[in-house]
Amino acid sequence: MAKTNLKEKKSVSNAALKVVDDRELKTTSYSDINLKKWRDYEHVKTDTLWEFPSRLKEGGHSNEYHGNYIPQIAQQIYERFTKKNDVVLDLFFGSGTSGIEAVNMKRRCIGVELKQDLVDSVSNKFTQKQLVTDVNIICGDSASNGIKDKIQARLDVMGEKHAQLLMLHPPYDDIIKFSDKKEDLSNCATTEEFYDLFEKVAKNGYDLLEKGRFACLIIGDKYANSQHIPLGFECMARMNKLGFITKAIIIKDMQGNERAKGKTANLWRYRALAGGFYIFKHEYVMVFQKVK
């Protein structure tokens, strides 16, 4: 009789503890951030100006590939818009920033990269176990009709029907040539062709993203023919056309990047003054939600 009472007391105690825990926890459907303890998240940015003094190099990150985005963006976006074990889909995988940070933050990732040599190189950044359970890298064209089937097969293996976050960091039109492949967005003959190809990539991402979840577009603008070409806003318009709603337009300071390219030198100031333009010191981090 005493043993029975002891078991009953433990059961009641555990139930009471769960109620207390539940009362201390409040999260959204897409994040592990505990809103009951929101003051504990000072490191999570909620404003629209992001300044990072330098690129994060710890945690498996490196800067050997020109054109990759800084890991701090992944950290901020993952914590705001994913839960542990969620699947991040990156359709411009590049040097693997999205996958590296997914592993660091206990998320999973599927990345699509056009160049096989880069796929082989980036694969070496992960263990064989991680390449089975946490990170799937596909060599393919993210704008193609057939890529969705390949991604869906990887999602099936991961036990998911859809990805929970979409990351998009396309080339900024033809500013940097990443390959000689005609499918490469940096090789488009015109900016309009770039927009059309980007829209195809974004459409594939939209179809593979879970309803109610978020997408992040990292992009900058360019100058051409003596005028400012607003790549970011046109790409945003293309995503809105697909059904995404815009949740935020964040300005990310990239002065550190520009210093490395010499763009703060007097030559650039002279060109700006002579040409009537301003030197870029920012790029955009745009956040969208799939609501239908």
Q: What is the pLDDT of residues 50-109, one digit of tens each?
A: 999 877 676 555 666 556 799 999 999 999 999 999 999 999 999 999 999 999 999 999
pLDDT at residue 12 greater than cutoff 70:
no
| Distance in angstroms (rounded) separating the CA atoms of residues 42 and 17 | 28
Instruction: Write the DSSP assignment of 108-130 as a string of letters.
Output: EEEEEES-HHHHHHHHTTS-HHH
Q: Which domains does the chain have, with CATH numbers?
A: 70-249 (3.40.50.150)
Q: Would you say the pTM of this structure is higher than 0.85?
A: yes
Q: C-alpha angle 99/109/174, rounded to 5°?
A: 60
Q: Which of 126-130, 177-181, 264-268, 284-288 has the lowest mean pLDDT?
A: 264-268
Residue 167 forms beta bridges with which residues? 90, 216
Q: What is the pLDDT of residues 128-186, one digit of tens each?
A: 999 999 999 999 999 999 999 999 999 999 999 999 999 999 999 999 899 999 999 99
